[in-house]
Structure 1
Amino acid sequence: MTVTPQHRDHTGDEPDGTPTGPPPAAAPAASGPTVLDQMGGPRGFVYSSLPVVVFVAANTFLSLPVTIGVSVAVGLALTVLRLVGGERVSSAVGGLVGLAAAVGVVAWTGSAKDFFVIGIWAALAGFVVALGSVLARRPLTGVVWNLVHGGTHDWRADRAVRRWHDIATLWAAAVFGARFVVTEWLYLADSTTGLAVAKLALGTPLTILAGLVVVWAFRRTSTRLLGKDGS
């Protein structure tokens, strides 16, 4: 008896639908968000910089009370724009709270340069905390990594891991220290415009660089202790 060979359709599958051709190529893995993306991207830089520029520019031509009013109005407009754009309420409102605190200090002291005083002392506090954590052999970025991953890892017992976090935390301390030294010097020199330029130059750009070092330490730690990429 002659056996008739089974017919395959044009797709190369068996008659019962079982695929026989090569498997489809896997889609490339999507890359994770960059440090700049996590900070809000270019728009985040604009949102953080515009109130500073507006305050200094307005203070050049207007009285201090009017400058405060203009700054708050711009801050409110930016907050609404960010909320309409789908940003988280905490991020959008957080910027407005920071601006309100800064102009509140200005209204209290009557000095335009005090718009930057909170940032100056925050930089000093960040420097002290970051450097102190390294001196205490508990670098801050390592503490944060452990908390993010359940808080159960003995990461300090691994010399390589602790060294990576020493580097990352010291880098953060250097950024905070540079901000404090430069802005405090400009503050004592009564240079409001210089303070604005320093805030922009030492703000997002240095934060991105520090963030890259922290991400590097996080990923190397995750690869070593968890056996996977920490991205």
Structure 2
Amino acid sequence: MGGVAGFVYSTVPVVVFVTANAFLPLPGAVGVAVATGLTLFVVRLLRGERPVAAVGSLLGVAAAAGIVAWTGSARDFFVIGIWASLAGFVVTFGSVLARRPLTGVIWNALHGGKHRWRSDRSVRLAHDVATLAAASVFGSRFAVQQWLYLTDSTGGLGVARVVMGTPLTVLAALVVVWSFRRSTRRLIATGRTGEASE
């Protein structure tokens, strides 16, 4: 997830935009946010990071700024993230309802797609828990940020974006790592392979 640097890269443009919006006209705040995104892009390239990751972050800031410029509303800086959270919730929660928790599908794919992980109740339960943890993060982000969006609280959206960003992602990731390790211990160690379609 990029560690401390990843947290900084994802947080700084948000903080800069919200702060600039409090003191500058909206076009000026948008300009400052884009300039910040460009600066971080150059810094990441100079640090030798993968261009794809650096470009992705820059495009995210540019897209958010473009929506704000189009709608004329500062709160729309956060609209992409809000709807991305809803999409993440639908996918993760839906996979649990379909009895194919997403973390289990990913774990199996990373291990050659050859393990009967769904036939082991404790392993599937572990992936249910891990996928529901991810769904909880996505769902809570959407619920809180959509409410703040509807109340037109740009500052609140900025705080929520930072607080509910990397910290919650790390917590969910710890549960996912636990489920991956549990799967590896129970399935690979016991040699239960086959049924790649699971």
Per the TM superposition, whether the score is higher than 0.5 is: yes
Correspondence for 1:149: 111
Match of 1:72 among 21, 29, 34: 34
1:213 deviates by 0.3
> Normalised by the size of structure 2, how large is the TM-score?
0.93
2:77 maps to a residue whose letter is F
Separation in 2 of the partners of 1:88 and 1:134? 33
Pick the aligned partner of 1:128 from 81, 90, 97. Answer: 90
Per-residue deviation, residues 201-221 of structure 1 (Å, max 9, x unmatched)? 000000000000000000110
Q: Which residue of 2 aligns with 1:201?
A: 163
Deviation string for 1:98-120 (max 9, x for gaps)?
Answer: 11111111111110000001111
User: Over aligned residue pairs, what C-alpha RMSD do you find?
Assistant: 1.1
Say how many residue pairs are matched. 190
Please state how far the C-alpha of 1:158 moved relative to its aligned partner: 1.0
Q: Which runs of 5+ in 2 are unaligned?
A: 191-198
Question: Which of residues 37, 41, 58 in structure 2 aligns to 1:96?
Answer: 58
SS in structure 2 at match of 1:175: helix
One-letter identity of the residue aligned with 1:121: W
The structure with the larger Rg is 1
Aligned residue number for residue 178 of structure 2 = 216
Match of 2:135 in 1: 173
Query: For residues 74 and 125 of structure 2, what CA distance do their matches in structure 1 show?
Result: 42
Aligned-pair identity in percent equals 68
Counterpart residue type for residue 89 of structure 1: P
Deviation at 1:60, TM superposition (A): 1.1
Amino acid at match of 1:211: A
Hey, what does 2:153 align to over in structure 1?
191
The residue aligned with 2:144 is: 182
The secondary structure found in structure 2 opposite 1:75 is helix
Task: List 4+ stretches of structure 1 deviating above 3 A.
Answer: none
Q: Given residue 169 of structure 2, which amino acid in structure 1 is its aligned partner? A: T
Pairing 1:2-151 to 2, within 5 Å after superposition: 39-151=1-113
Deviations 1:77-113 (A, max 9, x none): 1011011112111111111111111111111111000
Is there any run of 5+ residues in structure 1 with no aligned partner, and where?
Answer: 1-38
- Report the AA paired with residue 137 of structure 2: V
Partner letter of residue 48 of structure 2? G
Return the TM-score normalized by structure 1: 0.80
Instruction: Give me the whole-angstrom Cα distance separating, in 1, the residues matched to 2:31 and 2:137.
Output: 32
Q: Deviations over 1:109-144 (max 9, x none)?
A: 110000001111111111111111001000000011
Deviation at 1:191, TM superposition (A): 0.3
- State the shift of 1:46 in Å: 0.9
Letter in 2 for 1:198: A
Distance in 2, matches of 1:212 and 1:84, equals 31
Q: Which deviations, in whole Å up to 9, do the C-alpha atoms of 1:149-180 show, x marking residues without a partner?
A: 11122211111110000000011111111101
**Separation in structure 1 between the aligned mates of residue 119 and residue 158 of structure 2, nearest angstrom:** 43
Cα distance in 2, alignment partners of residues 122 and 78 from structure 1: 23
Task: Kindly indicate whether structure 1 or structure 2 has the higher relative contact order, using CA contacts under 8 Å at least 6 residues apart.
Answer: 2
Q: Which residue of structure 2 lines up, in the alignment, with residue 18 of structure 1?
A: none
